[in-house]
Each structure stands twice: as C-alpha cells, then as structure tokens.
Structure 1
Amino acid sequence: MNVQVGQATAPGPSAHKEARSASASTGVLVMYVVGFFMMYIAVMTPVVSTLAVKVSTLTDDAHRVGALSVVTGVGAFFAFVANPIAGALSDRTTSRFGMRKPWLLVGVVGGVLGLVIIAFAGAIWQVVVGWALAQTAFNAAQAAFQAVLPDQVDEARRAKVSGWVGTGQNVSALVGIGIATVLAGAGINTAWMIIIPAALGLIGVVLFSLVLRDRVLDKASAEPFHLGRFFAGFWVSPRKFPDFGWAWLGRFLMLFGFASYNNYQLYYLQDRFGFDTATALSWQLRLMVLQAILLTVSAALGGWLSDRLRRRKVFVVIATVLAGAALAVFALAGHPSLLYVASGLFGLGFGAYMAVDLALVTDVLPNRETEAAKNMGVFNIANALPQSLAPAIAPALLAIGAGGGDANYTSLFLIGAVIIVIGAVSTMFIRGAR
C-alpha cells in the first residue's frame, strides 16, 4: 500500500477524472452490498449481543454494565480516530491494486484478528484490547467501503444502493444473533459465537475485492498527506458547508439515541423480563426477524421513492420519528409482547432512514472529487462518536431510579427517544437537498 506523504498540493481536475473508475456494473454493486453485509455480520454481532455475553462470562451481574461500557466506549474511541484517518489515506493511496481495495483487505484481516482475541480472552482488559483493534481495523475498511459509493455509483442510483447497504448493515446482526442463539442453546463455547461471524466477514470482503475494478491513482496526481496538517485542518466547517453540518448532526443524534438501546438490549431483556442468556438471545432473534422484514421493505420502498421523487429530507424526518417512537415503546414496555411493536417501528424507521441518509450526505458532500473518503470519514464520526459517548453516559442514566426495578432502562431509553426526534428537526435545515 503506497500513500503519498509530505506537504499538501491539490491535484488538477483532469487528474481526478482519470483516476475515477467507470460506473460500476450491476454485478459489482450486488457484490458491494453483499460484501458490506458480510463484514457487518462480523461487526454488529458483538455490538448487539456477543460482547455482552462475553463480558458476562468474565464479571458478575453487579459490574457487567460498567465493564461493557468500558469495552464499547474504548472501542468506539478508536473507531472515531481510525475512520477519518483511513479515509484520508485511502484518498491518497497509489497502490497498483487501487485506492480502496488495500484498505478493505488490511482492515478486515485486522478486524478478524481483534475478534479472535476477544473470543479467547480470559480477562476484561483483553476484551478491551481486542475490541479496540477490531474497531480500528473494521473502521478503516468501512471508510474505504463508503468511498466506493461516490467513486462508482451514479447519482440516480445512489439512494437505491444506499438503501440496500443500510438494509445489509441492519439485517447483518440477525445472522449473527441466529448463530449465537443456536450455539447458546447447544451449550457450545461462547468463542464460536464470535469466530464464525468473523469468518463470514472475511469471506465477504475478499469476494468483493476480487470483483472490484478500483480507482487507480497516479502518484503524480496524489495529494500528499501530512499528519500535522491533517489534524490541524481536520474540520469541515458548518459555516462554509452548512448542509453537511446539519446532515452530520442529524446522523449523530440518531445514532446516539440508538446506541443508548443497542449496547444494552441483551441486559435489558434479562433484567426487565428475567430471561436467561439463551432465552434473551432467542428473543433478540425473534425481534430481529420482524425488524429485518420491515426494514427490508421500508428500505427498498424508501430508496425507490426517494430516487423517483428526487426528495431526501422528508424520508429522513419520517424515519427518525418512527425510530424515536420505537425507543419510547421499549422504554415503557411492561410485557414482552410489546417488544414486537417496538421492533416493528424500528424496522420501518431504520429501513427508510438508511435508504436515504447516506444518499443525502453524498448529495451534499463537500469536495466530492478530491476528498470523498476523507469527508465521508468526517461524516462517520457521527457514527463512531455516539457509540463512545452513549456508553460513558449510560451508567449514570441507568442508575436513575435503580431502586424501582425497571425505571433505569425507562430513563435511558426515553432520553434516547428525545435525542432521536431532535435529530429529525436538524435535518429540516438542509437547503441543498430536497
């Protein structure tokens, strides 16, 4: 992997035109979605369930929430740092294999190594190290993956492709939870709940890399990378690019609210309804099946309508409100049957949201020709930062009303719902997209 390092110089428009690949074929785009989906099986399965299961095997009930918060918070910090740096380096990579492909492959291998460390960890600190490595490496791969969208997909198809990518990201956990449920029911070692999804992620990224006709950047056209200048200039001004700023804030608030539930749903099911681990995983699987079905329908319909009507914001706002309502139902649910209602709302909301939000930010992305991966990396801070902040704040919110049994989860989820709805409001201020 070759990266130009030195003082920054801007390449001319013709150089970037030469570096850009032709619009990808349908077959390549199918493999793009499949590769993203399989990588997210490896990434999302620990986030949703198996990290919580692993932490439970290494600590007691009184300390597991705090331990999980440390693991997820540290990992999210590394994701926060790795994604934009990897994106900027990807924009400058002059490998003969392409600009994105080396980062895809190195990222997924490093991520799998981190998950293997977690699988065989004998102490919480080892889980912290493994998850930090996994988050760093997988986010490097994600930065390259997302840069493929503006690289190779024309504007008329972006929302549709974005919708299927978003669907894959959210449905991916279903596969991982299904594997974990089967293994837990059979009494098989927890390590396999992590290793099998990791192997699927590796296979998916390698297969996509084999069919990708990546952009190849000439060394003379590459903008040199200087770490000091990168950090000094690592800022997309919301005053200069307000639409990008509002899109960033909307994603941040949406993901912050979602992270308040996502990291703790296994413990929520166990604590509120008295489920053991196998039963909680089984309920997660049922809820994810319903959510996946509605998410897929909502994403396909939302992406198609958005492209056809040439509108983005209205779909984002409606989707965000539905997700906020889902979190409120989770907060107030006193019987497991209500969880189906909440998961259904989440599926409808997140499907429409993921179908359109990535296309929306691509439409307002600053300096698309020269800094696509770097600016998508900045945008992905809105994905990573909530996953770091939410675990840091969650223990305090969970302690509110702890003597009342369920009041702690109620407080956490209701605050998350309010934050999500505020995210819908921020989207309305975007002027450069309809």
Structure 2
Amino acid sequence: MSIVADAEQDTTPQHPVSVAWLFGFALAWFGFWLVVMLPGQFMVVKLSSVIAPLEKVAVGSFLIAEMAVVILVAVPLIGTLCDRTNPRFGRRRTWALGGFVVATVPFAVIGTQTSFPVVAVLLGVVALGEATVLVSLSAMIADQVPQRQRGRASAAAGVPQVIALAAGMVLVTMLVTDIAQSWLLIGVLALAAPLPFLLLMKEPQLPLVEDRPAVIRIPLTSGAYRDYYWGMLSRVLVNAGNLVGTTYLLFFLSDVLLIEDADGALTILILIYLAGCGIASWLGGVLSDKTRNRRVLVAVSAGLQAASALLLAFSPTWTSAIIAAVLLGIGYGIFLSVDQALMTDLLPNPTTRARDLGILNSAQHLPIAPLLGWLVLSFAGYSELYAVAAVIMAIGGVVVFRIRSVR
C-alpha cells in the first residue's frame, strides 16, 4: 500500500490549472450535459409521446434504459483503451473530440424519426459517444488537476449540468418547440461548445500503462479498492434516487396535479431547481477544497434530496413541488461538485484512471431509475414512487461513511 501511495503521489499533478482552463473545461462539460440531461429529463419522454402515445411510459423507459445500458457496457472498455493510447494530439483530447462527434451527429437527426426501432438505434450510437466523452473528460481531472483544486474542477464539471439543463429546457420548451428542430439545435450546440477547450488547451503527454512501474498495477479485487467501491455504491444510489424522482416529473404534473400546461410547469420547476443547484454546486466545490471533509457534504446533499422526494410523496401539491425543487437543487448541486472530487481522491491506481473512472461513471448509469419507475408505476402511484426515491437517496448518504481513507 505504501508503494502504491507513493506512486500515486508522484503522478498527482502539482501545478494549478488556470482560470481559462477551468472555463474551457466547463464549456466542454456544458456540451456533454446538453446531450445527456435533456433526453432523460424531457426530450425522450416528449418524443415517445409522439411516436407511441399509447405506450409512452414503456417506450420512454425503454429508450432511457437502453442508453444507460450502452454507457454501462461501453465506459469501462473505452476507459481501458483511452489509458493505453497516446496520440500526439493528446490522450484525453483525442477521445473526447471523437466522442462528441459520435454523440452529436446522430443526435441531431433523431427528431426527424417516427420509427421506434430507428430511434432506438440512433440513441444507442449517441450513448456510445457520450460514454467516450464521459471517460475522457473525467480522467482530465485526475491527470491535470492537483488535489487542492479538484473541488473547483468538479464544480466546473457539475455547474454546466445545471446551466445546460436550464438553457436547454428554455430552448426546447419555449423557443424551439418543433421536435425535429429542437434535436438538431441541441446537437449543434453540444458539438460547438467543447471545441475551444479541445482545440486550444494543450494536454500534457502521459506515459503509457506499459511504461509505468509494474508495482503500481493493482487488481480491481485488491483491498486498495475497498473505499472506491463504497464511494461507487453511494454515487449509484444517490443518482438513482434523484433520477427516479425527476424522470417522471412531467407525468406527475399532468396526471397527478392535473396541470394543463405541464410542459410550462416543468420548465418553472427545473429553473428553480437549477438556480439552487448552480449556486450550491460552486459553493460546495470551494467548501470541499477548503475543508477536505467531502463525506459529510455528500451525506448532507443526499439528505436534502431525500427530503424533497418525501415532500412530493406525502404532499402532492404545486406549492410542495416548488419547495421540493429548491431542496433538490441545493442537494444535488452540492453532490455534483463534492462527489466527483471525493471519487477522484479515492482512485488507488494512477495507471488506470480512465478505466477506474469509467467503471465508476458507468455504474451510476445502471438503469435503476427507469426500471423502478416502470415497476412502481405499474402497481402503485407517484406517492410510492417518490417514497422509494427518498429511501434510495438516504441509503446513499449513509453508505458514504463506510469510506475510511479520506474525510
């Protein structure tokens, strides 16, 4: 263990990244989150209600689950390949640029399709590109950012999720409501956003895995990965609970609260949620860098999100929905910045950062949310659905304290 720790210390970046680097990094993540968040939160559900109106819940759940499965399988494989290549343009930059192209080109034409099988195939290709981008951008934090800045770098990855969802929802629900045009617009924006960072910011050359000392090659079954797996479980549970609660919010507003303009109501809630999320994400990143007590902040974030779900479960009103949006936004904002920094600190093997982050990030895309949503809503109602979401997130907040190697 001491040899592994020394190797990790030797390969941990020591020079701080610049503000320009963080801003460009945030732009790249903004493009990624556009093609990840909008389909799951609105665009796939909306499309499924058009191509299969009588089976909209089943079709929407299948498409979201399909993308999750593709990411789940592809990410660790792509991570291993990314660790074992070293192109002159830059290991992570090359894979990220290729991933953006693979994700956004088919994304742009999905809105013109009326066939469910065609949509499913195209979304599978999109998910493959998303997996590639996720691997490469996540590994950049471990490769290039020193530990004292990882909270800020994680916030630079997390805050754009908020902005992308807010701006994207305004675009696709208010400004460009035509389905075909909305998918095209988001695809173009997602490809344009990362180009300044990927083309202008130089990436340091890293030695290949084969060129590293053999002594720091740690098997995934090693005890050195104990805390890594506990952190993974915490992340999976919190993300799954959050998605269980948010994926079907449009149907909750229309079918339970009986709001006539459910699209508009959803946009209002998302904007409230994202305002709290953006502020909390940046402050959470700064606070975690200063205190290094990341476990407590993850637990607090899980508790706030669980409280928001319970509010919807036991008080299904418009007022409760607004309060829940505030709690969920603050909780998830803290989680976005702190959890990524926590998991980067837990990486036990510097030679396999992309692979390990890939496994971690693919695990959080397990199709728990759509499967649970379909199961619960088949036999019960939305109150039970949000109660399940609350329990899952609360467990995720408790599990994080099983981590021992970092605070």
> Mapping of 1:104-123 within 5 angstroms?
104-123=96-115
Output the CA distance in 2 between the equivalents of 1:289 and 1:139.
Answer: 27
**Letter in structure 1 aligned against 2:133:** A
Match 1:259 to one of 218, 243, 257? 243
**Structure 1 residue matching 2:384: 3-state secondary structure:** helix
Listed as ranges, the gaps of 5+ residues in structure 2 are 1-6
**Structure 2 residue matching 1:122: 3-state secondary structure:** coil
Match 1:399 to one of 374, 378, 394? 378
> Mapping of 1:3-22 within 5 angstroms?
none
Farther-moved stretch of structure 1 (263-272 vs 214-223) = 214-223
Is 1:31 aligned with 2:24?
A: yes
> Mapping of 1:212-361 within 5 angstroms?
212-217=201-206, 236-237=220-221, 239-276=223-260, 279-361=261-343
Output the CA distance in 2 between the equivalents of 1:140 and 1:75.
Answer: 13
Output the CA distance in 2 between the equivalents of 1:237 and 1:218.
Answer: 24
Output the CA distance in 2 between the equivalents of 1:261 and 1:334.
Answer: 13
Match 2:49 to one of 46, 56, 59? 56
Residue 46 (structure 1) shift: 1.1
**Letter in structure 2 aligned against 1:166:** G
**Structure 2 residue matching 1:370: 3-state secondary structure:** helix
Farther-moved stretch of structure 1 (376-385 vs 109-118) = 109-118
Output the CA distance in 2 between the equivalents of 1:338 and 1:89.
Answer: 47
Output the CA distance in 2 between the equivalents of 1:290 and 1:191.
Answer: 27
Q: 1:199 to 1:312 in 2, by over 3 A?
A: same
> Mapping of 1:60-99 within 5 angstroms?
60=53, 62-99=54-91
Farther-moved stretch of structure 1 (424-433 vs 19-28) = 19-28
**Structure 1 residue matching 2:79: 3-state secondary structure:** helix
Listed as ranges, the gaps of 5+ residues in structure 1 are 1-12, 224-232, 402-407
Q: 1:165 to 1:189 in 2, by over 3 A?
A: same
The match for 2:4 is none
**Structure 2 residue matching 1:384: 3-state secondary structure:** coil
Residue 239 (structure 1) shift: 4.1
Residue 158 (structure 1) shift: 0.5
Farther-moved stretch of structure 1 (19-28 vs 391-400) = 19-28
Output the CA distance in 1 between the equivalents of 2:224 and 2:13.
Answer: 26
C-alpha distance after superposition, 1:53-86 (max 9, x if no partner): 11111112x4110111111111110010111111
The match for 2:133 is 141
Q: 1:178 to 1:105 in 2, by over 3 A?
A: same
Output the CA distance in 2 between the equivalents of 1:59 and 1:382.
Answer: 29
C-alpha distance after superposition, 1:129-155 (max 9, x if no partner): 111111111111111000010111111
Q: 1:102 to 1:183 in 2, by over 3 A?
A: same
> Mapping of 1:180-219 within 5 angstroms?
180-183=172-175, 188-217=177-206
Q: 1:291 to 1:360 in 2, by over 3 A?
A: same
* Contact preservation (8 Å) 1:21, 1:151: no
Output the CA distance in 2 between the equivalents of 1:432 and 1:151.
Answer: 20
The match for 1:226 is none
Q: 1:340 to 1:301 in 2, by over 3 A?
A: same
The match for 2:3 is none
Aligned residues: CA RMSD = 2.5
* Contact preservation (8 Å) 1:248, 1:382: yes
Output the CA distance in 2 between the equivalents of 1:117 and 1:189.
Answer: 13
**Letter in structure 1 aligned against 2:327:** L
State TM-score, norm by structure 2: 0.91
Q: 1:24 to 1:305 in 2, by over 3 A?
A: closer
Higher helix content, 1 or 2:
2
C-alpha distance after superposition, 1:94-146 (max 9, x if no partner): 21101011111111111112313421111111221111111111111111000
* Contact preservation (8 Å) 1:87, 1:143: yes
**Structure 2 residue matching 1:273: 3-state secondary structure:** coil
Residue 189 (structure 1) shift: 2.1
**Letter in structure 1 aligned against 2:345:** D
* Contact preservation (8 Å) 1:320, 1:420: yes
Q: Percent identity?
A: 27
The match for 1:412 is 385
C-alpha distance after superposition, 1:254-312 (max 9, x if no partner): 11111212322222222122345xx2222222112211221122122222222112211
Output the CA distance in 1 between the equivalents of 2:279 and 2:371.
Answer: 34
